[in-house]
Structure 1
Amino acid sequence: MANIMTERPQSRTGRRGTSATPPAVSDVARLLWPNWNAFWDAVTGLVELPNELTFTGWADFAAALPTEALRLRDLLDDCQAGYGPYLAVPRRIHYL
């Protein structure tokens, strides 16, 4: 099974980043597709997202699952818009 998220160690400044590796299409569909509400609950209340989040292989993911890629990006954008102004350090999300 593909590793979806790999967390980088905390730096000297205390900031931590996360890098996402492109998982197999079936893994993403199985993990996220039926449960977007649970994903939203997780990123807005259960876990703290890192200051910097990078998705690598985004073009391949979006080509294989365009609806899911759009939904994921919309959810993360909504999270940024709703919660971002209250953060001491703004989060950055990169889609590579």
Structure 2
Amino acid sequence: MDEDLKVLRDYLLFTVPHVTVLAGAVFGILLVLGIPVVTALGVFMVFYSLMLIVLGLIIRPHVSGMLWYQLLMLLFAVLLAGGLFILLAGDRVYM
């Protein structure tokens, strides 16, 4: 395994769990506040994907040429688009 892949793996291994817990806490707070589940899920997906994109941008100078990095950033963008779709059309689609 080359050095750049190890950097990417270690960075994701030690940061993504923290982001997941924080986004999950926001989701739980929204549910406790009585926000509809579809809206809370959309906010969760947007918040989670934006935080993952920020993490990806932080590590970009080290691993930007790697295929795995590009695929992860694409996945984060798809997650963001899904969250926006749920926020904008969730009530019409899921209700």
TM-score normalized by the length of structure 2: 0.36
Q: Name the structure with the higher helix share.
A: 2
Q: Which has the larger radius of gyration?
A: 2
Q: Which has the higher contact order (CA 8 A, sep 6+)?
A: 2
Higher strand share: 1
TM-score (norm 1): 0.36
